[in-house]
Amino acid sequence: MKMEIRNTTVMTEFILLGLTQSRDLQLLIFVLVLVFYLIVLPGNFLIILTIVSDPGLSAPLYFFLGNLAFLDASYSFIVAPRMLMDFFSERKVISYPGCITQLFFLHFLGVGEMFLLVFMALDRYIAICRPLHYSAIMKPRVCYAFMGALFLGSFAHAFVQVALILHLPFCGSNQLDNFFCDAPQVVQLACTDTLLVEVLIVSNNGLLILLCFLGLLASYAVILFHLKGCSSAGKRKAVSTCTTHIIIVFLMFGPAIFIYTRPFRTFSADKVVSLFHTVIFPLLNPVIYTLRNQEVKASMKRLLNRHMTS
C-alpha cells in the first residue's frame, strides 16, 4: 500500500512472497519448523535455567554460554513466529515500521552473537594459553563489561543499517521476495540509485563478519597449536571445547558470509540459506555446545531429577 502526499510516495507496507508458493511444501516446512521449535526452544531455556541455578557453573565460560542461549532464543522470535503464521495467510503483509523493526533486531541480535563468540574465544585463549593469569583477568566485572560493550556495539551496527535504509524512497513495487525483512531485499525496492547504500551496507556487514570469522579461526588455530604440549586429559577436554566452538562459528558465519558479503542480487539458494540462518542454526548453537559439555549435561540432569522427584 502506498499513500500520495504532496507528490511524494510513502510506503506503508510490504508484501512478503514467502518461502514457496506450493501449499504442500508450505505445510511440510510448517510442520518441520514447528516440531523443531517445540523440541529445541525449551532446550535453550533449560540451558539458561541450569546455568543460573547451579553455583558450580559460575565460570565465565558458562556465563557466556547462558548469554549465547539467551541471544539465540531471542533471535529465533524475530522471524519464525511470523513465518509460521504467514503459511496460513493468502496475503502476507508487514507494515513499513514493522519491517524496519524486524530488520533492526535481526542485526542487533545477530551481531551480538558474533561479538559473543569472539569473547568466548578470548576466554578460551586466556584459560588455555595463560592459565596462571585467568582468574585475575576474567573477573565478573570484566565479563559484565564485555556484555555491555557487546550491546553497545550491536546497537551501533543495527542503527547504521536502519539509518541507511530510512532515507530511501519507495515508489515502485512493494513485494519482498523473502519471508522476512532484511537489508538486501528492502534496498532493491528503492526507486533511486542505491549503489552507494549497497556499498556501505555490504562494507558494514561484510567487513565485520569477515574480520570476526577470520579472527576466530586464527585464535582457535593458536589455541589448538598451544594444546600440543598439554597433558592428555586436559588436552582432550580443551580440544572438545574448541572443536564445539569452531562448529558453531561455521554454522553461524557460513550463511552470514553468503548473504551479506556480496552484491544485492537474488540467488536461488537465498531463501534456503536464510531459513537456516534465521530459524534453524540459532537454536542449535547452544544445544550443540551443551551436548559436548559434560559439566552442563550433568548439572542439567541433576536439575531435572530434582524437579521430577519434588
Mean of the per-residue pLDDT values of the chain: 86
In this predicted structure, what is the pLDDT of residue 225?
A: 85
- Measure the CA dihedral 249/255/256/260, to 10°: 150
State yes or no: pLDDT of 3 exceeds 50: no
% of the chain residues with pLDDT over 90:
35
Identify the CATH number of the domain defined by range 2-309. Answer: 1.20.1070.10
pLDDT of 133 above 70: yes
Tell me the C-alpha to C-alpha distance, in Å, between residue 195 and each of 109, 169, 179, 186.
26, 14, 24, 13
Mean pLDDT of 290-298: 82
Q: What is the pLDDT of residues 83-113, one digit of tens each?
A: 888 888 888 899 999 999 999 999 999 999 9
Percent of the chain scoring above 70 in pLDDT: 95
As a whole number, mean pLDDT of residues 245-252 equals 88
Q: H/E element holding 94?
A: strand 93-95
Which residues are 16's β-sheet partners?
176
Higher pLDDT, 7 or 67: 67
State the average pLDDT over residues 222-242. Answer: 77
Cell output for 196: 552507494
pLDDT of residue 9: 53
pLDDT band at 231 (very low <50, low <70, confident <90, very high): low
* Residue keyed to cell 513499513: 96
Q: How confident is the model at residue 233 (pLDDT cuts 50, 70, 90)?
A: low
> Residue 206's closest CA among 173, 240, 183, 186?
183
Mean pLDDT of 285-310: 80
**What pLDDT does residue 310 have?**
62
Identify the residue whose cell numbers are 586436559: 234
